[in-house]
Structure 1
Amino acid sequence: MDLENVYEKSLKDPAVMTVTWELVPGRGAREKAQETVILEAEKAVRGGKISAISLTDSPGGFPALMADCLAKEIKALGIEPLVHFTCKDKNRCQIESQLYALERAGVRNLLVMSGDYPVSGFLGRPRPVFDLDPTHVLALIQDLNNGLEYPLPKGSGTLQPSHFFAGAAVSPFKETEAELLGQYYKLGKKITAGASFIVTQLGYDVRKFHEILKYMEMKGFDVPLVGNIFILTYGAARAMKKNRIPGCVVTDELLAELDRERGLPDKGLEARLLRAAKMYALLKGLGFSGAHIGGPLVTCEQVESVIEKGEELSASWQALIAEFQYSRPGGFYYFQKDPDSGLNKEIPVDVDSPAPDVSGKGLYRFSVFCHNRFFEPGTKGFAFMHRIALTVKDSRLEKPLHKLEYLLKTLLYGCRDCGDCALVDTAFLCPMSQCPKQQRNGPCGGSHQGWCEVYPDRRKCIYVKAYARLKADRQESRLETLQVPPCNWDLDSSSAWLNYFLGKDHTSRRLGIGKENVKPGNPG
């Protein structure tokens, strides 16, 4: 059955759980990993308990067979594929081309994500791309589904509508307030951009599963929510504990349990499957629309046993809540704890506490001061700067002004010189130079204890720092409401100041700034 219809049914009927099973294509074209995926998918077709086979896109940042290829083969077997569609290795033209190919092949189910930062490739680490973030890709997919209009030398053309069913990911398992709120803010942007279902990242804290469910209800996000169940081995858990598999959360307590279990005669297999079945029962009892099941070397028979046992246990799911309280000491929760149920109350916690770790406070204050006086429409400083921009444009002074701007912004912000500046969108922290994934609409899912996925213990995630800066002024909601378009590379290596005052960059377009509507001497 079509995955969209199955999710729609599960959204309306709490008794229905939609199961997707995650398989890893692996490196190579005709190796054992690829053949295993096909053989296991054939078993899933015969079993009838699994609605879709989910295919990863180079997990961990290592090369692997493109999921699109196996997706076509799996669809031919009679089961729906769910392609992990990431942003890490493709610019926007290649992303659009890949979507055309998937549409032509009839592969319509996509899980859109930033993707793991590339780790290795031929003759060394590849250059990451991240030209678009998930909100941009989801918006593109929505436009394609509506019949994308595109420019022609004379006029425009319109494509036939595509038929994608696209979802996105979110992690409710973050440890700090800034990381968690960053995830939730970006979740809202993803749903606004067109995400039709949401899959959680990996964790084992039932309060966090309940939290994301209640948060989505509170915000009115009426899309299917799918919980991630990973049949966890000790080796995988140890890697997750060290954040070597970014975004996945395993506590010391859980790791110790797995360590004990691997000493059993079956090396802990029965315990792993039972834990997964209990998680399935909890997700169904809480009201999730489905379960996304994965794990290393997991077979179709094992997944089906998890489903069967999970259905059996779901009648008494409340009795399992106490077993899945794998919280981290001092971890932040969005809702107050309900001591009676072990879950959450409907009441959010108080987030009016002082902003933590406002790094670069002096520079931030200076930046806000300058922006409010010279870049804010309606001020005398703005009118003055606009007159300067009109005078400098296309003159011999344009190049020296650009060099001066680049020098100052490099010293202060580590400027990338993209010409489509997003400093004001991210509390004067450059996402193009300070975020390895160049995320312009919020954090990726890979941060750990506030640290950047790519530079752990060396660089804080810029959105953690931006949250702290904005919270000090009670403006953290800007990170929730502001949709930032992708960088316009037509403006690369040009003056962002001139682009702003002349109406060329994304901020001036949002504010309606341009030479046609702001005249010299008229700050309005």
Structure 2
Amino acid sequence: MSLIRIGESLHCHIPTVQQSARRWLCGDPLDREAGERHLVKLVHDQIAANAHYLDVNVDNFLSDNAIGLEGAQKILDHFFDLILLHGQGIPPCVDSSDPDLLIWGLRRYHERTEGKGKPPLINSVAISKLEPLELRREFPFSAVGMLLERADDSGAGFTDIAGPEVYHDTARAIFDKAREIGFAPEEIFFDPTVGPLGADMVGYTKRTFEGIRIIRSDAEMEGVHICLGLSNCSDGLPRRRGMNKAYLRVAMEHGADAAILDVASIDENEGVDPNILRLIRRVMEGEGTDALPLLVDYAQAYPRSPELPRRDPFPDKFQSDLKDPDQTTYILEMAPAENNVEQIYALAEAARDTPFTFAITDTPSGKPAPGPDTIGLEVARIMNRQPIVNLSCKGEDRIGMARRVLGLYHQGLRNFFAVTGDYSFDGRAVFDLDAVTLVQAIDSMRRGLNYATLLPRPQGDLEGISVGGAVSPFKYMEPDLWGQYMKMWKKHQVGAGYFITQVGFDPKKFQELKLYMNRAGMGDVPLLGSVYYLDPRVVYILSNYKVPGLTIPVDLARKYYSVLLPKKERSRIRKMDFVDLVDYEHRFAIRNMALLADILVRGLGYKGVDLAGIHDIDNALEVLAVIQELKDRDWRESVEEYYSGNGKRKMELGQEGGFYLFPDGEDGLLADGPFQKGDRGDYNRTSPSMKQLHSRFFDPQGSGYGLLKWMVSGCEDGARLRWATLFEQAVKTKTLGCEMCGDCRIADLQYQCPEPTNGCAKHQLNGPCGGADENGMCEVHPERRCYWGQVIEAALIDGNMESLLKIQLPKDPQLLHTSSWRNEVLELVSKPLDLGDPGDGMPG
């Protein structure tokens, strides 16, 4: 006897299915994408496992105040969408204990299909609620009759039924009514109700099998089906799959011919564990409470491993401060080196009672140094407070990054900060992920998703994880600036909960960033500004030893060198002895840090500041003390003092002729006006011929698509594909500098290859790092224009910045050195995520 297989995987009683449906209905764009992916996979898996119906149940949402009936109907309708789109003609089994929802679902599916295709199944109707059957007078469908109630007493429950003959009486009553309405016998299913074996204290398992046998012996009901909800039998027991298979075997022996089951894992033709089969036969043959001790013995023979407790997280002042609207957040940034680890620990001890959260950087120079993981954990233990652990992409791939996050999480750390990282010339730079995909990978764990599939993690979510991202507004070329803001928006879309600027000194650029965030719908996202400790020695080092992405303005350097100061002040400095001069320079540095911090927090609305370059807790506390003093005056006075020069002119802290996104204001800062445009006359342009060729050969409607498909769709080891791959390599190497990654993204990146030969040395797929210099030249290859600068120039000229907003997932390493043409045609490459756009935050 063949089994009618009803796939149960879209039943929202299953926690992961319920969660994915909730994501799709209520989540942000990334949650909706993740929910959709999981639900689509469930449909595909059930179809591949030869399901005859796909069970869809949304009853759990009816009692959810946030979703209710309207939301449940939207989810059910979306399940119909997925079945019609991906189900290859397999109909749904509309499953609900609510007759009204069954009627709504039947009518809706009939409307969607216009009565075409295979009729659906409903599960289920009870003897006291047969109203849904009346729809059979309008269109065909099959129905499951629940044998839970007596035909003569609708109040009787499952365990109240005295004997198996009651199943027959109820089945016969439903059968007669269904036949009267117009159902054929083969359109009628009966569910005798499967109860958990582990809770059988009254012998209902035996009664179920005997009831099936009696129904099958009624010749007048020949042709009906007996359907079981299989997963109920093993509820609470170990080795559930083996238990379900054995139960199904015995049920089919007694006449069951349909089951709601996990079709992908259970095949009625597979072998069954003889010990479990013997156990179920003994339960079936026993009397009364005989089943219970048998099942207790079984469960004790397969004890479950205890769930390992997670270490409690350290107290999290940082997140608490971010959420408190009246609290300013202060970070003290520590850069580990081989000779300062003990100094960091001493600082942590001294900072226990201060408002600072420590941020531990991840070898920012790219040189070997102690990593932030162990130092961050020790700082947490010393301070009894969560630090922020920086993670950079330069040294490990996606698996290594996940391993670090998981290790720190289970040690009680929760706060992470994702950066691209400086290029390492002393070893092999990895950059498997970029800062956007690293944020997404970390936030996916918080959501309970695997990266990059976005499917549910078997281990569940990592509650409490927070990840932030960096942004550098200190770019003075239009495409480079748009690259930073575009990448920031992407980070926000994939889960960045806060942002910290890279180091810079131009208040107008700090203001520009905040204005842009407001315009792009990110005004509520916490933003902290980096404020760096400068004295003449530090200024000299930073000015003469290139630090990626950091430029000391000429006027600022002259001010710290005591050149751009009022004449009287310069004279006073020249008269100081060495001790007084050092003290003066220190107080000057502290005050300038406090001035910038005051401008950012009180003036521009920043949530807090990240104090960098400080190596003594007393210095950090001095900055806070001066900030407190400045609160007694208007913050614009801090702007005046910060910009002050030699008394004749103010400092110029931007780049000469530099680009600002907003127009100048009357107060020396910027005005919240329309976006400005740069001079785009010399911008790099997209090759028209590349666009035309791609459209002709890769668009399924293109004239050359059939030829390309023929070229690459042969046997993997065949000569045709071998020659096609060689031809591809020759063409793309010459025109694009192709490295045959097998996962080509040029169509999304203005037809410019991102691989290092001609593209980005750091393999950045979602926007530029912050390492380009003030002229837009690459951090790694300073003779070369930044790859992303060129891409964005072309997008601005083309008016197609929207194409760059998609989230590019990391490349598939298994496709390396294969034909990207073949992989594209066969849809083996990952598709970018479209999470919307920043609305008014788009360039003109």
Q: What is the DSSP-based 3-state SS (H/G/I as helix, E as strand, rest coil) of the residue aligned with 2:810? A: coil
CA distance in 2, matches of 1:460, 1:443: 12
CA positional deviation for 1:311: 2.2
CA distance in 1, matches of 2:560, 2:427: 35
CA RMSD of aligned residues (A): 2.3
Q: Which residue in the other structure is 1:55 paired with?
A: 360
CA distance in 2, matches of 1:18, 1:93: 32
Once the two structures are superposed, what CA deviation does each residue of 1:294-348 show, in whole Å capped at 9, x if it has no partner? 11x5311111110121122134211122334511111111111102x22221113
> Of residues 732, 735, 743 in structure 2, which corresponds to 1:409?
732
Amino acid at match of 1:226: L
Q: Which residue in the other structure is 1:488 paired with?
A: 812
Q: Which residue in the other structure is 1:430 paired with?
A: 753
Q: What is the DSSP-based 3-state SS (H/G/I as helix, E as strand, rest coil) of the residue aligned with 2:764? A: coil
CA distance in 2, matches of 1:226, 1:189: 18
Once the two structures are superposed, what CA deviation does each residue of 1:71-114 show, in whole Å capped at 9, x if it has no partner? 11111122321111110000111111111111111111111000
Once the two structures are superposed, what CA deviation does each residue of 1:340-382 show, in whole Å capped at 9, x if it has no partner? x222211133327434332xx5x82221221122223432333
Q: What is the DSSP-based 3-state SS (H/G/I as helix, E as strand, rest coil) of the residue aligned with 2:529? A: strand
8 Å CA contact retained: 1:393, 1:498: no
> Of residues 464, 473, 477 in structure 2, which corresponds to 1:176?
477
CA distance in 2, matches of 1:80, 1:375: 50
Q: Which residue in the other structure is 2:459 paired with?
A: 159
Q: Which residue in the other structure is 1:8 paired with?
A: 323
CA positional deviation for 1:467: 1.4
CA positional deviation for 1:161: 1.7
CA positional deviation for 1:69: 0.4
Question: How do 1:239-318 residues align onto structure 2 when only pairs under 5 Å count?
Answer: 239-241=541-543, 244-260=546-562, 265-267=580-582, 268-285=585-602, 286-295=604-613, 298-314=615-631, 315-318=633-636
Q: Which residue in the other structure is 2:703 paired with?
A: 380
Once the two structures are superposed, what CA deviation does each residue of 1:23-43 show, in whole Å capped at 9, x if it has no partner? 12102xxx4x00000001111
Does residue 209 (structure 1) correspond to residue 505 (structure 2)? The answer is: no
Scaled by the length of structure 2, the TM-score of the pair is: 0.55
Once the two structures are superposed, what CA deviation does each residue of 1:255-295 show, in whole Å capped at 9, x if it has no partner? 11122289763331111111001111111112110100011
Does residue 189 (structure 1) correspond to residue 189 (structure 2)? The answer is: no
**Which stretch of structure 1 is more off in the superposition, 373-382 or 36-45?**
373-382
Q: Which residue in the other structure is 1:227 paired with?
A: 529
CA distance in 1, matches of 2:833, 2:550: 38
CA positional deviation for 1:394: 5.0
CA distance in 1, matches of 2:545, 2:329: 29
8 Å CA contact retained: 2:711, 2:724: no
Q: Which residue in the other structure is 2:821 paired with?
A: 497
CA distance 1:209–1:243, shift in 2 (3 Å): farther
CA distance 1:141–1:44, shift in 2 (3 Å): same
Does residue 41 (structure 1) correspond to residue 348 (structure 2)? The answer is: yes
**Which stretch of structure 1 is more off in the superposition, 180-189 or 265-274?**
265-274
8 Å CA contact retained: 2:358, 2:388: yes
Unaligned runs of 5+ in 1: 120-124, 511-524
> Of residues 739, 750, 769 in structure 2, which corresponds to 1:444?
769
> Of residues 77, 85, 88 in structure 1, which corresponds to 2:391?
85
CA positional deviation for 1:197: 0.3
CA distance in 1, matches of 2:676, 2:509: 17
**Which stretch of structure 1 is more off in the superposition, 426-435 or 134-143?**
426-435
Q: What is the DSSP-based 3-state SS (H/G/I as helix, E as strand, rest coil) of the residue aligned with 2:387? A: strand
CA distance in 1, matches of 2:494, 2:832: 21
Q: Which residue in the other structure is 1:335 paired with?
A: 662
CA distance in 2, matches of 1:37, 1:508: 42
Q: Which residue in the other structure is 1:476 paired with?
A: 801
CA positional deviation for 1:393: 5.3
8 Å CA contact retained: 1:420, 1:487: yes
CA distance 1:352–1:65, shift in 2 (3 Å): closer
8 Å CA contact retained: 2:472, 2:501: yes
Q: Which residue in the other structure is 2:381 paired with?
A: 76
> Of residues 302, 327, 332 in structure 2, which corresponds to 1:21?
332
8 Å CA contact retained: 1:85, 1:113: yes
Q: Which residue in the other structure is 2:414 paired with?
A: 108
CA positional deviation for 1:443: 0.1
CA positional deviation for 1:178: 0.8
Once the two structures are superposed, what CA deviation does each residue of 1:452-477 show, in whole Å capped at 9, x if it has no partner? 01122x01101111112222222234
Amino acid at match of 1:161: D
CA positional deviation for 1:171: 0.4
CA distance 1:108–1:470, shift in 2 (3 Å): same
CA distance in 2, matches of 1:54, 1:156: 31
Amino acid at match of 2:321: V
CA distance in 1, matches of 2:682, 2:725: 35
Aligned length: 486
Amino acid at match of 1:329: E
Does residue 326 (structure 1) correspond to residue 649 (structure 2)? The answer is: no
CA positional deviation for 1:156: 8.1
Does residue 467 (structure 1) correspond to residue 772 (structure 2)? The answer is: no
Q: What is the DSSP-based 3-state SS (H/G/I as helix, E as strand, rest coil) of the residue aligned with 1:227? A: strand
CA positional deviation for 1:150: 8.0
Q: Which residue in the other structure is 1:344 paired with?
A: 670
Q: Which residue in the other structure is 2:295 paired with?
A: none
Unaligned runs of 5+ in 2: 1-314, 564-572, 644-651, 835-844
CA distance 1:276–1:150, shift in 2 (3 Å): closer
Q: What is the DSSP-based 3-state SS (H/G/I as helix, E as strand, rest coil) of the residue aligned with 2:331? A: strand
Scaled by the length of structure 1, the TM-score of the pair is: 0.88
Does residue 395 (structure 1) correspond to residue 739 (structure 2)? The answer is: no
8 Å CA contact retained: 1:279, 1:310: no
CA distance in 2, matches of 1:151, 1:71: 27
Q: Which residue in the other structure is 1:64 paired with?
A: 369
Q: Which has the larger radius of gyration?
A: 2
CA distance 1:228–1:156, shift in 2 (3 Å): closer
Once the two structures are superposed, what CA deviation does each residue of 1:158-199 show, in whole Å capped at 9, x if it has no partner? 123213111000001111111100000000000001000000
Question: How do 1:128-139 residues align onto structure 2 when only pairs under 5 Å count?
Answer: 128-139=429-440
Q: What is the DSSP-based 3-state SS (H/G/I as helix, E as strand, rest coil) of the residue aligned with 1:21? A: strand
Q: What is the DSSP-based 3-state SS (H/G/I as helix, E as strand, rest coil) of the residue aligned with 1:59? A: coil
CA distance 1:43–1:352, shift in 2 (3 Å): closer
CA distance 1:328–1:316, shift in 2 (3 Å): same
**Which stretch of structure 1 is more off in the superposition, 245-254 or 271-280?**
245-254
Q: Which residue in the other structure is 1:513 paired with?
A: none
8 Å CA contact retained: 2:806, 2:833: no
Amino acid at match of 1:64: A
Q: Which residue in the other structure is 1:96 paired with?
A: 402
Does residue 140 (structure 1) correspond to residue 447 (structure 2)? The answer is: no
Task: Work out the percentage of aligned pairs sharing the same amino acid.
Answer: 28
Q: What is the DSSP-based 3-state SS (H/G/I as helix, E as strand, rest coil) of the residue aligned with 2:668? A: coil
Amino acid at match of 1:342: G
**Which stretch of structure 1 is more off in the superposition, 466-475 or 275-284?**
466-475
CA distance in 2, matches of 1:207, 1:243: 25
Amino acid at match of 1:453: E
Q: What is the DSSP-based 3-state SS (H/G/I as helix, E as strand, rest coil) of the residue aligned with 2:416? A: strand
Amino acid at match of 2:588: A
CA distance in 1, matches of 2:593, 2:681: 38
CA distance 1:353–1:56, shift in 2 (3 Å): same
Q: Which residue in the other structure is 2:73 paired with?
A: none
CA distance in 2, matches of 1:160, 1:508: 25
**Which stretch of structure 1 is more off in the superposition, 323-332 or 389-398?**
389-398
CA positional deviation for 1:395: 2.6
